[in-house]
Amino acid sequence: MLHVPKDETTEGRRGVGPLIPPLSDTLRPLRQQVFERVRAAGLIPRVQVAKDLGVSPASVTTITSELIEAGLIEEVAAPREGDAGRGRPAVALGVRAQAHYVAGMKLSDREHTAVIVDFAGNLVANDVIPRDPGSLALPELIDAVETLLGRVCAKAGIERAALSAVGIGVPGFVDVAEGMVLWSSVLSARMVPLAAAVSARIGLPVSIDNDANLVALAELWFGAGRGLSDFAVVTIEHGVGMGFVMNHRIYRGAQRLGMELGHTKVQLDGALCRCGQRGCLEAYVADYALAREAVTALNLGHRETPPINVLLESLYDHAKAGNVAARSIFRRAGRYLALGLSTVINLFDPALIILSGERMRYDYLYADETLAEMGNLAIPTGRARAPIEIHAWGDLLWAHGAAALALSAVSEGLLAPAREMAAQ
């Protein structure tokens, strides 16, 4: 279950970010490890940081003093249990929430969603702008970003200039390092330098990523994946996406374009996918695939086709009411989904698979027989298969992942000098 942190007092702070086991990742500079340990814990005493990282208390004291002076963390009085009102309270460390604010945005085929979070990961404000389906020219998309950013900043009561960074998620093939969208259903052009174009318009640093990666990042920072080293997130909405976490980090592949589960082929010369190829998993499971089948099942060929969300809800209602054709559509999509999930298990052996996205309200897609078929298609090792969790979240989840991307970029930038010194 995703934890969306709220604005809290110093008591009961919740941490955000990966819960990396002590001593398992020593390649990063100690300054960065200390900061990330504090951020993940929410509140933590210096002595516990030293114990977790296996370093001397003196080293932790020196580093935390530097981080406090830089305004990144702060000391918080935390009364000892059972000693309320007596003696000096214990002092814990926490991220200074007001040090930075970032925005996270999800741009999709039907609505654009944004959140603003503070440096500790607390949700400050959110907003949604609905839109008509279809791809947009780059100037139109940037206009939408600027409008939404202005609205969510107004809700948060801050100026746009007060933001330290913006993270943006889009469907499609995205090179996060170059800020380039190679192809996306929300853009009419290919090879678009979206990060640079948006940054030039709004005057802020911008990071972009594939939206499914950002769902995985949201689970890694705020949800069920915080304490897991390896897990997969499969998203089913307007398309089918996948994000994979390996060793507490998003895995993207050598060219940063991997994990495209929706575009793996499940049928040679099969149904046309919106990417332009045929036989992709997405072409049998995503919204537009179900809608294509629904037109026939509901006998709508002679009438004007309703909006896709209305069509899908009608299809689901008919299935629940016992319509054999409607049920068979979901059953077929579920079988293809089982095929895709078994491939994930066979390739990666994840500790957990999270099925996420608005379409997970359609329980036919993950019915018992579907999950049983997934188990039958996976390699029979004699061991229990990866557990499946269903998270039927809306676009705020994706926007939180984009905010985590921005938070990561800000903290990495602030700690970069320490990395450079460590490398010398």
pLDDT at 417 exceeding the cut of 80: no
Are domains 99-216+398-414 and 229-351+358-392 of this chain identical in fold? yes
Task: Please count the residues of the chain.
Answer: 424
Contact 186, 239 (CB under 8 A): no
Q: Does the pLDDT of residue 2 top 80, yes or no? A: no
Looking at residue 79, what is its pLDDT? 61
- CATH fold of 99-216+398-414 reads Nucleotidyltransferase; domain 5 (3.30.420)
pLDDT digits (tens, 9 = 90+) for 233-277: 998 888 899 999 999 999 998 888 888 899 999 999 999 998 889
Would you place residue 420 in the very low, low, confident or very high pLDDT band (cuts 50, 70, 90)? very low
Q: Is residue 356 within 8 Å of 391, Cβ to Cβ?
A: yes
List the domain boundaries for the chain: 99-216+398-414, 229-351+358-392
227 pLDDT above the threshold of 80: yes
Query: What is the helix, strand, coil percentage profile of the chain, to 5?
Result: 45, 20, 35
Torsions phi, psi for 318 (to 5 deg): -65, -40
Can you tell me the mean pLDDT for 195-209? 97
In this prediction, residue 77 has a pLDDT band, given cuts at 50, 70 and 90, of confident
- The strand pair at 163-170 and 206-210 is best described as parallel
Q: How confident is the model at residue 160 (pLDDT cuts 50, 70, 90)?
A: very high
CB-CB contact of 108 with 406 (8 Å)? no
Residue, of 309 and 193, whose pLDDT is higher: 193
pTM of the shown model? 0.85
Cα 111 to its chain centre, rounded Å, is 17
- Indicate the CATH number for domain 229-351+358-392: 3.30.420.40
In the prediction, which pLDDT does 380 show?
87
- Residue 59 is predicted with a pLDDT of 95
